[in-house]
Structure 1
Amino acid sequence: MSVQELEKEQAPKQGGFGPLAWLRWAWRTLTSMKTALILLFLLALGSVPGSLVPQRGVEPDKVAKLYEQSPALAEWYDRFQLFEVFTSTWFAAVYLLLFTSLIGCIIPRTATYLRELRRKPPAAPKHLSRLPHSASFESGLTVEEAARRLRKLRFRVVTGDGWVSAEKGYLRETGNLFFHVALLGILLAIGAGSLYGYRGNVLVVEGDGFANTVAAYDRFMPGNQVSAESLQPFSFTLSKFKVAYQVAGDKRGQALDYSAHLKVNDTPSAPTRDFELKVNEPLEVDGTQMYLIGNGYAPVFKVTDGKGQVAFEGPVPCLIEQKTTMTSGCVVKVPDAQPSQLGFLLRFLPTSVPLTNGDYASAFPGELNPEVKLLGAFSGDLGVRSGKPQSVYELAEPEVLKKLKPLVMGSAAPKPLAVGQSLELPDGLGKLEFTGVKQWITLQTSYDPGRFPALVAAATAVIAIALSLMIRRRRVFVRTSGGRVDVGGLTRTEGSAAGFAEEFSDIVKALSAGEKDVR
């Protein structure tokens, strides 16, 4: 065997970077403070689309309108779960990673903090003049007296042979630790709300009621641990809804106030109580809150079919097309009409005014001159009995709509209908009558058991970060020898040396003064 081969065989073998080492590296990276800050930033950044893009759980009507106006863009939004940001897969992934990172940060910091609490201040250095802050004075001050005076200044004190060591500012690390614990508490509260809470959306027309049951919701989003029996058994009736508008000036037509008058029963056997529901003033029953999030018009129609029977009568919630004037699009479906089903596309004008081109438009969002303009009338199979779900804001699917027969109302377009007016349909198919106007409101129900714990955790985080930023960790040393007292001090917090200089001067004055001057 050659010398080179022998040296190669005897050379120490380098350890490979195996799976265990990769896992250890991944854990250290995930639990580092840098990673936690990046994940916290990503969580905040991921919340931005939730305020810019309409959410299905809050504004389903705006989501439907976006699908009508920009179907391609809406599909991309849906593909990236931007209509449901806070329940999306990618948001949950960031949330869980941040949760894990915080736990990994808190456990070792807690162990270090507990060791620091038990650790005594170090012995005083021999040459205090070498410290960043130092002073000397002639005095007969004893070690015991110096220790007593420093304790009055809330220092932790250790004494030795001719020296005193004192330390202060442990609450800084306490605040830092509690801030991380509070962040973890916020995440736990959010998680508890997702598991045991629920949200729902419902549209209620004036005069109608609502009972807090799963079947009554237009959209219901329960947590994983929520059942139908978990819902609080309250109910209410919407008596009246009022909107106050600015009637003059540059802001004419701007909404000033919304007010919904409810008749509420907290339980089936409880007496009825009156409640005025306003924006940001929710109805709360046993921890369940109902927020007012939208409103619109529901004109009342009566449809008589070709056999003289009333095939439809009631309010029809209309989708807002123009917010400034509350111009709304309405769809009336009459599947029970004989001899043929009927469908109507209408436009509701709260304050109808004629235009110079012969058309009509709404000039004000308030209900001053309500009229309904017929956009189209159809007969034929609407497909409502096909078993496929249909939107109340659409007459029919495109393939079904092509098979419907348009009803020609005459050579001239019919004038808008005022309240109490009717329109005869051609071919003896019946009559459409506009009988009145009601309003609808949309409500969001929210039950979140983690709401109060999240508030407590957030308040704790604010107080803790204030402690962490305002309190400085500092040490003071005193040596006495032959009537001479040497005092030295230093701060253990980076960037706070300037602020400690004034405090150190006060400490020296307290040590050199008589006992009666110590504060």
Structure 2
Amino acid sequence: MRTALLLLLALALAAIPGSTFPQRAISSVDVADYYTAHPDLAPWLDRLWAFDVYTSPWFSAIYLLLMISLVGCIIPRLGVHWRALRAPVPDAPRRMSILPYHRVVEGDLNQSRARAVFKQRRWRTAVREAEDGTVTIAAEKGHLRETGNLLFHTSIIFMLVGIAVGSLGTWYGNRILSEGKSYCNNLQQYDEYGLGSWVEETDLPRFCLTLNAFDAEFTDGGPTAYDADVSYETPSGDGDYDLEVNHPLNLEGTNVFLIGHGYTAVVTYTDRYGQTQTLHQEFLAMDAALNSEGAFKFPDVNVDPATGVVDPDAEVGFDAILVPTFDDATEMLLGSEPEPNNPVLALTAYTGDLGLGDGLPESVYAVNPDQIASGGLEQVNDQVEVIGVGDSMTLPDGSSLTFDGVEQYAVLQVRHDPGGPIVLIGALLLLGGLLPALAVRRRRYWIRWNPDGTVETAGLNRNDYDGLDEECDELTALIAGNEPPRTDNDTHDDGDRA
């Protein structure tokens, strides 16, 4: 047990780097940023698995040793507990006066009534009669405490196994899906994903999902209900489903969860040559009122139709804020209501080189700030321009951006976690074992009828228990007939049939 406690401490200490350094399984972008900020230190930390703590060999070794240590604790105790359950209740010592509780009872205690009281109170009993005529009833209660201890330690093993299986076999993918759009279950179509060590891309089940419609209800305190009407296609068939929060859709052994909601802005850009491009761009909410930020990027515009020559410095980008309900009676830009009652776009336009051709990852929700800082992009308008649905923003070269409208999107998470049921079993065992382990007390009680006519009672607590004297006095009073025996329907604390 000391080894198990030391390993638990080691496991807690080993988890500290996992919360100190960014983890690849959570955000590979943060790991890349750490490399940029600490180019000399990061490679050494990576060799020590600091960015993959929970799948590292040294972390796995600690919890495997902990599991082995727990098994080594539990198996011997199971044998001892089983023998204790099958063994008869020990007889009272020859000198009962040495026990913590001892009384010499005046008057006669009825043996039959004593047995009835013990049975009603669910005590294990054993009756012994000596050759000299001494009769002893030994009673014992509280074996459920050790049962709870064993269940509690067994639950830790289940949870360790579940976490290990989940870490190795879990995969997930997050996807922002606008109304009327579809996607299929492959990594290229996820905005963010993570795979366990035992999962390959080819292991993902095949299905496609379409968001037909989305409905959100709000109050002053925020959203009250999300309702996504989806349709799906799988190798085994297709169908429709009403996807709600905490009511996932099960597809091919995976669960599709509805975890968020937002708005998609629809705009049309007309370049200087009259060519148009329509863009459906998702925006990220900044607050509870769903005031959202995003960007529109048009790298393939302003191509001379006569020559087909692309001007790399004529790309156009817009940083934008979407306000679902704009109140033009105030000077405040951001609204206070999440419903799209009067949506507007606050736009800042840039022209030049968007920097999309350098191969470096960048946010789709903002124009590249490095390009702006380096002069690769120049701001066109001196101040933010606000346009409503149907309005346009015209740039100095004659091109324009028209705000066509707002659509809604749902944030979906597809997850498969084979370790979840194992962890659930462990959690149930933990709760089922913790309650008796904390509440039940192991104790013994004896009554001896001596040949000289005296009657002695004695009690012994096997755990710290301040109420032993009171409980023994109560039992003695019940057996003596000073109180009516308790019926089977009456309740009594921490009783157990073991």
Residues 1:328 and 2:292 aligned together:
yes
Structure 2 CA distance for partners of 1:367 and 1:139, relative to 1, 3 Å: closer
Match of 1:102 in 2: 70
1:316 Cα deviation after fit = 0.7
Residue 140 of structure 1 contacts residue 484 of structure 1 at CA under 8 Å; is this kept in 2? no
CA distance in 1, matches of 2:17, 2:478: 53
1:92 Cα deviation after fit = 6.4
Task: State which of 270, 279, 282 in structure 2 corresponds to 1:317.
Answer: 282
| 3-state secondary structure, aligned to 1:306 | coil
| 3-state secondary structure, aligned to 1:199 | strand
1:354 Cα deviation after fit = 4.4
TM-score by length of 2: 0.76
CA distance in 2, matches of 1:347, 1:151: 75
Match of 1:211 in 2: 184
Residues 1:440 and 2:414 aligned together:
no
Structure 2 CA distance for partners of 1:348 and 1:87, relative to 1, 3 Å: farther
Match of 1:4 in 2: none
- 1:181-210 CA-partner distances (Å, limit 9, x unpaired): 112222222222222222221111122123
| 3-state secondary structure, aligned to 1:316 | strand
1:173 Cα deviation after fit = 0.9
- Ranges in structure 1 where 5+ consecutive residues have no aligned partner: 1-27, 247-251
CA distance in 2, matches of 1:446, 1:202: 11
- 1:23-79 CA-partner distances (Å, limit 9, x unpaired): xxxxx74324xx477579879x979979xx999978x7xx98xx9xxx989xx9xx9
1:376 Cα deviation after fit = 2.3
Question: After TM superposition, which residue ranges in structure 1, 4 or more long, deviate above 6 angstroms?
Answer: 39-43, 45-50, 53-58, 79-94, 144-149, 516-519
| 3-state secondary structure, aligned to 1:30 | helix
Match of 1:193 in 2: 166
The structure carrying a bigger helix percent of its residues is 1
Match of 1:490 in 2: 459
Task: State which of 364, 371, 374 in structure 2 corresponds to 1:402.
Answer: 374
- Ranges in structure 2 where 5+ consecutive residues have no aligned partner: 304-309, 488-498
Residue 189 of structure 1 contacts residue 454 of structure 1 at CA under 8 Å; is this kept in 2? yes
CA distance in 1, matches of 2:372, 2:59: 39
Match of 2:363 in 1: 391
Residues 1:374 and 2:315 aligned together:
no
Residue 189 of structure 1 contacts residue 453 of structure 1 at CA under 8 Å; is this kept in 2? yes
Match of 1:134 in 2: 103
Q: Tell me which of the two structures has the higher relative contact order, counting C-alpha pairs closer than 8 angstroms and 6 or more residues apart.
A: 2
Q: Tell me the matched-pair count.
A: 460
What does 1:45-194 align with in structure 2 at a 5 Å threshold?
Answer: 99=67, 102-117=70-85, 119-131=87-99, 132-136=101-105, 153-157=122-126, 159=128, 161=130, 162-164=134-136, 165-194=138-167
Structure 2 CA distance for partners of 1:36 and 1:155, relative to 1, 3 Å: farther
| 3-state secondary structure, aligned to 1:106 | helix
CA distance in 2, matches of 1:193, 1:329: 35
Structure 2 CA distance for partners of 1:436 and 1:268, relative to 1, 3 Å: farther
Structure 2 CA distance for partners of 1:55 and 1:489, relative to 1, 3 Å: farther
What does 1:5-16 align with in structure 2 at a 5 Å threshold?
Answer: none
Structure 2 CA distance for partners of 1:299 and 1:130, relative to 1, 3 Å: same
- 1:187-234 CA-partner distances (Å, limit 9, x unpaired): 222222222222221111122123333332222212222233443434
Match of 2:228 in 1: 261
Structure 2 CA distance for partners of 1:91 and 1:440, relative to 1, 3 Å: farther
TM-score by length of 1: 0.73
- 1:307-361 CA-partner distances (Å, limit 9, x unpaired): 3323x322111233x304433222112122124332222222222344877x844
- 1:344-394 CA-partner distances (Å, limit 9, x unpaired): 22222222344877x8443533212212222122123x2323333332123
Structure 2 CA distance for partners of 1:48 and 1:295, relative to 1, 3 Å: farther
CA distance in 2, matches of 1:160, 1:41: 56
| 3-state secondary structure, aligned to 1:258 | strand
Residues 1:299 and 2:265 aligned together:
yes
